[in-house]
Amino acid sequence: MFCTSATIHSRYTEQFKLDLEKHNEQYDPVVFVQLPHKSHDRFLIVDDDVYLMGASVKDMGTSLCAITKMEMSPDVVLNLMK
C-alpha cells in the first residue's frame, strides 16, 4: 500500500475545517497549519521542490494558468509565511 503525508498551510475558514474533517475521516490525515497573515500567492511543495501556482487551485483549468518551478528550498518559503 502506498502512503503519503500532506500538510496544508492556509487561512482557516469554517468550510475549510469541515472539508478537512470529512477528508481525514476517509483518508490518511492531512495536517493543517494556520497562516498568521493573508498570503496571496499559492505554492505547491513536493518533497524538496517548490512550485509557484499562477492561479487559485479552484480556478485551475478554467483558463490559462502557469506553474513555475522555483529555485528555493521549501524551508525558505515556509519561513517567509510565518
Please write the tens of the pLDDT for every residue from 64-78. Answer: 878 899 999 999 988
Half-sphere exposure of 25 (CA within 13 A, CB side): 6
pLDDT digits (tens, 9 = 90+) for 18-68: 999 999 999 989 988 887 766 677 788 888 999 988 766 777 778 887 889
Output the pTM of the full model.
Answer: 0.68
- pLDDT of 2 higher than 70: no
Whether the CB-CB separation of 53 and 67 falls below 8 Å is answered with yes
